[in-house]
Amino acid sequence: MNFKHFSFLCVLVLAILKSSIGFAQEISQASYEGDQVLSSVIKGDKKSFQKAWCKLLEDSYKAKTKRRGNSVSALDFVMSDISTVSVNSKMYVEKGAEDSNILKVYFHTTFADNSPIGQNNTPSEFSKLSFKLESFLKRYQYDYLSGLLEEKSKSLSKAEKDFNKLQTTNTKLEKSITESLRSIEKAQKRMDDAKKTIEDNNAKMVELRKQIDQKQLKIQELEENRAPKN
């Protein structure tokens, strides 16, 4: 990893961490569809969030979960670290209006007989339930952002690899062009030298032609003078 790559990753990590500030930090009480719920806002993906929540209930509590639209429900199961009494739960997940990776979650839980679990009537169970939800949300968001960081890092590495490949190709092509230009310059010089030689030879041939004509004329005069006179 070069320094530029490392620096970019640091900026990316800080950006992701900054984007997550204020999410999955607070659990509040609210009303949703007429029910009293625990609510929070986190960064994540709706499908993976629901899958992670189902896995928690199924693996930790042997619950039978059912996903439908925005909700995940589970009926008549025991959350042994919360209470020895069976409970019903329903987790609602809504995407943010402006950012689909901002999730609004609403968690509604009652005992199996539909009696509420609340801060006033069952403070101990309510506190444990809130802590359980908060721990899950923080862990999910950490995993989600870690996956996002890994994805961005892989994307960066691929882009850098493609960039370096193109850069190498361009370097080879530039070298080839330079060599070709040098070959052209050498060929041009040979052509110029050949033209100069032809011009010089033509000039010499003209001079030689004059000498040949003069010598032929002289020979002709000598032959005429040598011929016997009647």
- What percent of the chain is predicted at pLDDT more than 70? 88
**Confidence category of residue 47, pLDDT binned at 50, 70, 90:** very high
Q: What is the mean pLDDT of residues 19-46?
A: 81
**Confidence category of residue 229, pLDDT binned at 50, 70, 90:** low
Question: In this structure, is residue 162 part of a structural domain?
Answer: no
Q: What is the mean pLDDT of residues 194-202?
A: 94
Question: In this structure, is residue 213 part of a structural domain?
Answer: no
Question: In this structure, is residue 123 part of a structural domain?
Answer: yes
* 5 pLDDT more than 90: no
* 9 pLDDT more than 50: no
- pLDDT for position 78: 96
Question: In this structure, is residue 167 part of a structural domain?
Answer: no
Q: What is the mean pLDDT of residues 103-126?
A: 92
Question: In this structure, is residue 205 part of a structural domain?
Answer: no
- pLDDT for position 221: 86
Q: What is the mean pLDDT of residues 202-223?
A: 92
- pLDDT for position 152: 87
Q: What is the mean pLDDT of residues 33-41?
A: 92
- pLDDT for position 53: 97
Question: In this structure, is residue 160 part of a structural domain?
Answer: no
* 12 pLDDT more than 70: no
- Give how many domains the chain has, as a whole number: 1
- What percent of the chain is predicted at pLDDT more than 90? 71
The pLDDT mean for the chain works out to 88
* 17 pLDDT more than 70: no
Question: In this structure, is residue 74 part of a structural domain?
Answer: yes
Between residues 97 and 228, the one the model is more confident about: 97
- pLDDT for position 100: 87
CATH of the domain at 105: 3.30.310
Question: In this structure, is residue 46 part of a structural domain?
Answer: yes
Report pLDDT digits (tens) over 123-180.
999 999 999 999 999 999 999 999 989 988 888 888 999 999 999 999 999 999 999 9
- pLDDT for position 8: 47
Find the domain containing 69 and state its range.
15-153
SS3 assignment for the chain: CCHHHHHHHHHHHHHHHHHHCCCCCCCEEEEECCEEEEEEEEECCHHHHHHHHHHHHHHHHCCCEEEECCEEEEEEEECCCCCCCEEEEEEEEEECCCCCCEEEEEEEEEECCCCECCCCCCHHHHHHHHHHHHHHHHHHHHHHHHHHHHHHHHHHHHHHHHHHHHHHHHHHHHHHHHHHHHHHHHHHHHHHHHHHHHHHHHHHHHHHHHHHHHHHHHHHHHHHHHCCCC
